[in-house]
Structure 1
Amino acid sequence: MTKFKNLKYKKNKTVFLRSKTILPGFGLSFGISLLSLSLLVFLPFAMLVYSTVGIGWDKFWQTILQEQVISAISLTLKMSLFAVLTNCIFGTMIAWVIVRYHFPFKSLINAIVDLPFALPTAVTGIALATLYSPNGWIGQWFNFKIAFTPIGIWIALVVVSLPFIVRTVQPVLEDLSVELEEAGATLGANSWTIFYRIILPELLPALIMGAGMAFARATGEYGSVIFIAGNIPNVSEILPVIITAKLEMFDTQGASAVALFMLLISFVILFVFNVAQWFFSRRLGAKV
């Protein structure tokens, strides 16, 4: 009987592998995918590593450990973290409202969430600088400066990274059955218990994935930040601005060193978030 099942499995497997597909066979598809990935992703990164290795490790660390660069790295990571934490709260709330409630102009609100994806980052930066400058529509009402300070950087990073959280949490909320929450309420659970025991286990893996992408985007953001940051060394200068400044001074190797370090930071961030997503998916038994 077992032998018959194995033969049947092999037969079905053979039929599946030989069945016609829309795309070419595995070999050709894999080759095209690998070539595209190499040309678009691997080759530029390899050239970045090659140009950086040419300056030597001593020069590399000397460039990275400059006071101005260290300050920019610290500010970039700190503001990116604050922006992601902010969006984890408000982005989840926005996704919840879009999914669970019906109200006028809901489609418009849903489309506005994607606006940071569609707008050029320079347009976003100019708009934010106009709003939050000392004479701006919003900035004039505060007794402290928002634009040209780390607060302005935080606002810009919140704007550009918001869609990552909303769009990763929204599909999970759409698939989450309301009956589970109603059953919890029927059994006497309060709102916090329902959220913590029913909703959060389903949302957490998607939330971590969105936070990872948002964090990676925030650490590399340039266009929307440069107009509102002020770019004051050791105060409001972010890491991408350091790279641009070195290129303007024709310090290509120094810019490559900082860019490579930034690339390593992004890889570490994505790795940590992916491991966290896998861990919580297994631990909480959520759907991914």
Structure 2
Amino acid sequence: MSTQPVRTTKLRPSKARTILPGFGLSMGFTIAYLSLIVLIPLASIFIKTTELSWVQFWHTILDPRVLASYRISFGTAFCAAAINLIFGLLLSWVLVRYRFPGKKVIDSLIDLPFALPTAVAGIALTTIYAPNGWIGHLFTPLGWKIAYTPLGITIALIFIGIPFVVRTVQPVLQDLNQETEEAAVMLGAYRWRTFYRVVLPQLMPALLTGFALAFARGIGEYGSVVFISGNMPLKTEIAPLLIMTKLEQYDYAGATAIALVMLIISFLLLLLINFMQWRLNRRTIEGG
């Protein structure tokens, strides 16, 4: 009696049915949405800039007034984002780790810059920090001028950028396991060392994300800055205002040339920040 091996067929598991549409439909919708909302408008900037010759393009973007506006926009946005990085972490820590009267009120006020029109914020800040304002008149006798200076622009960008850091760090801080911190303290680590070696590495990706969001918002901010800056060429004129000035003069190609440089610099900076965030996430996973 001959025996033949029995062939067994391996059944492939059936695909799990999900409520959401499949990959093809989702990816097609995503690409179409990004193309209509992001890629096509950005591509129009490159196309419009081609109306200028290379000589005209370089003459436009290297004009001293334009270069000064770049320094003001990127410099104040970076300083404001760096300050928000520190105080945003402090606010998040207080709101998550402590209980005190009025906590919910303070937590709600964090979102006020999101809901407040930027023009209203600019007018309010200018009223307060002007030389005859409530706070400005205290510094005027000392020779310190806040409004109509880069310092005033930085304060306005701090105001509109602080929610990005707080709302990015706050959920991550809430999900941290405090038992790890307590174990580090019980093993003899000082509280500052525990924060620096245990807590901060886990918060760094969220901090970088909040910094990037605040920095990106500060670069393109217009409404809250245009009032407190004073709009003095070569001193306090921001790049978005210069773009609006070009548009009012019907110099559309010049406006898009300035916008193109801002787009490229912003993209490279955000790419660098995202790369740093990826490295930190990878280091955290390998270390954990």
Structure 2 residue ranges without an equivalent (≥5)? 1-7
SS in 1 for 2:280: helix
User: Counterpart in 1 of 2:170?
Assistant: 170
Contact 1:213 1:270 in 2 (8 A): no
Distance in 2 (CA, whole Å) between partners of 1:228 and 1:260 is: 26
Q: CA RMSD in A?
A: 1.7
User: Counterpart in 2 of 1:74?
Assistant: 71
Can you list the C-alpha shifts for 1:237-261, whole angstroms capped at 9, x where unaligned?
A: 1111110111111111100100111
User: Counterpart in 1 of 2:185?
Assistant: 185
User: Counterpart in 2 of 1:139?
Assistant: 136
Can you list the C-alpha shifts for 1:188-229, whole angstroms capped at 9, x where unaligned?
A: 111221011101110001101111111111111111000000
How much has 1:33 moved relative to structure 2?
Answer: 2.0
Distance in 2 (CA, whole Å) between partners of 1:286 and 1:135 is: 56
Distance in 2 (CA, whole Å) between partners of 1:56 and 1:111 is: 51
Distance in 1 (CA, whole Å) between partners of 2:236 and 2:18 is: 57
Residue identity (%): 50
Q: Closer, same or farther in 2 for the Cα pair 1:27/1:67, shift >3 Å?
A: same
Contact 1:201 1:285 in 2 (8 A): no
Question: What is the identity, as a one-letter code, of the residue corresponding to 1:138?
Answer: I
User: Counterpart in 1 of 2:88?
Assistant: 91
Q: Which has the higher contact order (CA 8 A, sep 6+)?
A: 2
Can you list the C-alpha shifts for 1:128-150, whole angstroms capped at 9, x where unaligned?
A: 00110111111111131100001
User: Counterpart in 2 of 1:57?
Assistant: 54
* Alignment: residue pair count: 277
User: Counterpart in 2 of 1:103?
Assistant: 100
> Which entry has the higher C-alpha Rg, 1 or 2?
2
Contact 1:172 1:203 in 2 (8 A): yes
User: Counterpart in 2 of 1:218?
Assistant: 218
TM-score between both structures, scaled by the size of structure 2: 0.92
How much has 1:176 moved relative to structure 2?
Answer: 0.7
Distance in 2 (CA, whole Å) between partners of 1:277 and 1:157 is: 23
Distance in 1 (CA, whole Å) between partners of 2:18 and 2:66 is: 55
How much has 1:85 moved relative to structure 2?
Answer: 1.1
User: Counterpart in 1 of 2:24?
Assistant: 27
Contact 1:91 1:166 in 2 (8 A): yes
User: Counterpart in 1 of 2:5?
Assistant: none
User: Counterpart in 2 of 1:261?
Assistant: 261
How much has 1:286 moved relative to structure 2?
Answer: 8.4
Q: 2:34 aligns with which of 34, 37, 40?
A: 37
Structure 1 residue ranges without an equivalent (≥5)? none
Instruction: State yes or no: 1:126 paired with 2:123.
Output: yes
Distance in 2 (CA, whole Å) between partners of 1:255 and 1:170 is: 39
Distance in 2 (CA, whole Å) between partners of 1:253 and 1:213 is: 28
Can you list the C-alpha shifts for 1:88-144, whole angstroms capped at 9, x where unaligned?
A: 110000000111111122111111111111111111101100110111111111131
Q: Closer, same or farther in 2 for the Cα pair 1:227/1:207, shift >3 Å?
A: same
